[in-house]
């Protein structure tokens, strides 16, 4: 049998990262068997693990392996062990930001959807969650994260009382092409979903937002007039996400606003443990769960692998065009949840104690459903 071979670069990272990566590999094995594909894995270091082994959060070898792969699957990075405000010390997050930039991953897609079986997990009243299914499209390689920044010492008038002290700044900078390409991603997604685009900015204050709005509207008029476009100021969006979340379909915004709004939106689902993400560039893509490395539960075998598996689903869809396999995976996950199986983070008062399972058992349940459905 001449199965297609896909090369995946695994970046297990820190904390619970290695545990949930193992489940992704397990599930991809089952997918490969059922759908006649072969997945080849290489593993590389990123974040704290890379700092410990090499001194750098993003070793050259990791970039080489990531470039050579068809897709990159990242688990999570960071932890208190490496927390520092000393600018001279390496931080795990530099590895993540560095790989986003180096691979040109400018479009970060963060779907927020409510799983029927988990709708009571949200802190919002269930009636407000009816119809919530949105896609946050976050610009990922520009803005405040990558603009000029510095800390200066010996600045006149900077200290309390007006003496000589320190000053620090970060710059929010956008170029037309950066805005245009992320807006295109958003409009194309909205067209596919048959939905609207909310373009979120702070055009009443920021020059970069005024350029954002201009470019988004220009592209809209030229190529996407069939898609409904709405402008919204970021503070209003923060409020509307809680007030009436179902109004949103595709939300497109700059890097920092997207960072904040996507964490806020994730809580509509009640669990960060269920949210996947894809970071797409022109030549490659990286998939990662939206949650962090959860160092407090690392190594205990209790982490929820589902956001990681949902990231695998996105990888199958976006990088390998294996839509049938992606659908099967998502059906398997929904089935496992509908049967009442939960990891500790999504368990509630109604969960039977014998149905609260660990990381590996959850992976087995999903794999079992994938195989059984053949």
Question: Of Mg ion, ligand IPM, none, which one sits near residue 96, judging by CB under 5 to 8 A according to partner kind?
Answer: ligand IPM
254 binds ligand IPM (CB under 6 A): no
Residue with tokens 């949200």: 122
Do residues 280 and 211 lie in contact, with contact meaning Cβ atoms separated by under 8 Å?
no
Q: Which stretch binds Mg ion (CB under 5 A): 75-83, 120-128, 182-190, 258-266?
A: 258-266
- Per-residue contact track with ligand IPM, 256 to 285, x per CB under 6 A? ---x--------------------------
Residue with tokens 């199958």: 316
**Closest to ligand IPM by CB, 47 or 363:** 47
Count of residues touching Mg ion (by CB under 5 A): 1
Residue 235 designated active-site = yes
Residue 157, classified by CB atoms within 10 Å of its CB into exposed (0-12), middle (13-18) or buried (19+), is exposed
Q: Which of residues 342-371 bind Mg ion (CB under 5 A)?
A: none
- Per-residue contact track with Mg ion, 212 to 251, x per CB under 5 A? ----------------------------------------
Count of residues touching ligand IPM (by CB under 6 A): 4
93 binds ligand IPM (CB under 6 A): yes
From the list 30, 96, 121, 132, which residue makes contact with ligand IPM (rule: CB under 6 A)?
96
Q: Which of residues 339-368 bind ligand IPM (CB under 6 A)?
A: none
Beta-carbon contacts of 183 under 8 Å, excluding residues fewer than 6 positions away, are 199, 215, 216, 219, 220, 252
Question: Of ligand IPM, Mg ion, none, which one sits near residue 200, judging by CB under 5 to 8 A according to partner kind?
Answer: none
308 binds ligand IPM (CB under 6 A): no
3-state secondary structure the chain: CCCEEEEEEEEEECCCHHHHHHHHHHHHHHHHHHHCEEEEEEECCCCHHHHHHHCCCCCHHHHHHHHHCCEEEEEECCCHHHCCCCCCCCCHHHHHHHHHHHCCCCEEEEEEECCHHHHHHCCCCHHHCCCCEEEEEEECCCHHHCCCEEEEEEECCCCHHHCCEEEEEECCCCCHHHHHHHHHHHHHHHHHHCCCEEEEECCCCCHHHHHHHHHHHHHHHHHCCCCCEEEEEHHHHHHHHHHCHHHCCEEEECHHHHHHHHHHHHCCCCCHHHCEEEEECCCCEEEEECCCCCHHHCCCCCCCCHHHHHHHHHHHHHCCCCHHHHHHHHHHHHHHHHCCCECHHHCCCCCCHHHECCHHHHHHHHHHHHHHCC
Residue 249 designated active-site = no
Residue 119 designated active-site = no
133 binds ligand IPM (CB under 6 A): no
Distance CA 167, CA 153 (A): 7
Q: Which of residues 12-71 bind ligand IPM (CB under 6 A)?
A: none
170 binds ligand IPM (CB under 6 A): no
Question: In the bound complex, what is the minimum distance in angstroms from residue 262's beta carbon to Mg ion?
Answer: 7
Q: Which stretch binds ligand IPM (CB under 6 A): 93-101, 171-179, 224-232, 233-241?
A: 93-101
Residue 89 designated active-site = no
259 binds Mg ion (CB under 5 A): yes
Residue 263 designated active-site = yes
Residue of 83, 263, 282, 348 marked active site: 263
- Select the residue whose beta carbon is closest to ligand IPM and give its number: 93
Q: Which stretch binds ligand IPM (CB under 6 A): 91-99, 201-209, 332-340, 355-363?
A: 91-99
Q: Which stretch binds ligand IPM (CB under 6 A): 30-38, 89-97, 157-165, 191-199?
A: 89-97
**Closest to Mg ion by CB, 185 or 290:** 290
What positions carry a catalytic annotation? 145, 202, 235, 259, 263
Give the footprint of Mg ion on this chain (CB under 5 A): 259
Q: Which residues bind ligand IPM (CB under 6 A)?
A: 93, 96-97, 259
């Amino acid at each position: 049998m001449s199965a297609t071979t896909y090369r995946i670069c695994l970046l297990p990272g820190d904390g619970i990262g290695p545990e949930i990566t193992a489940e992704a590999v397990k599930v991809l094995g089952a997918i490969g068997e059922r759908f006649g594909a072969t997945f080849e894995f290489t593993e590389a270091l990123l974040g704290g693990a890379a700092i410990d082994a090499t001194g750098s959060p993003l070793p050259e070898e990791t970039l080489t392996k990531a470039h050579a792969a068809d897709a990159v699957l990242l688990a999570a990075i960071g932890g208190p062990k490496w927390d520092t405000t000393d600018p001279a010390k390496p931080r795990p997050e530099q590895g993540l930001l560095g790989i986003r930039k180096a691979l040109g991953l400018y479009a970060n897609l963060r779907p927020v959807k409510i799983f029927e079986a988990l709708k009571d997990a949200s802190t919002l009243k269930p009636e407000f969650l009816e119809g919530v299914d949105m896609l946050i499209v976050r610009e990922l390689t520009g803005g405040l994260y990558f603009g000029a920044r510095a800390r200066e010492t010996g600045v006149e008038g900077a200290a309390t009382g007006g003496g000589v002290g320190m000053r620090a700044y970060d710059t929010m900078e956008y170029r037309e092409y950066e805005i245009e390409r992320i807006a295109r991603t958003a409009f194309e997604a909205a067209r596919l979903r048959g939905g609207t685009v909310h373009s979120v900015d702070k055009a009443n204050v920021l020059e970069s937002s005024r350029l954002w709005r201009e470019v988004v509207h220009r592209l809209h008029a030229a190529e996407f007039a069939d898609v409904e476009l709405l402008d919204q100021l970021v503070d209003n969006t923060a409020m509307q996400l809680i007030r009436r979340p179902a109004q949103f379909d595709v939300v497109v915004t700059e890097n920092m606003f997207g960072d904040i709004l996507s964490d806020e939106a994730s809580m509509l689902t009640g669990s960060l443990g269920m949210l996947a993400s894809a970071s797409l560039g022109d030549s490659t893509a990286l998939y990662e769960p939206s949650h962090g490395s959860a160092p407090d539960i690392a190594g205990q075998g209790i982490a929820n692998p589902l956001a990681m598996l949902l990231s695998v689903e996105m990888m199958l869809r976006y990088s390998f065009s294996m839509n049938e396999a992606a659908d099967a995976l998502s059906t398997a996950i929904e089935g496992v949840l509908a049967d009442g199986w939960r990891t500790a983070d999504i368990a509630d008062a109604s969960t039977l104690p014998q149905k609260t399972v660990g990381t590996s058992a959850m992976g087995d349940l999903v794999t079992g459903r994938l195989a059984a459905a053949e």
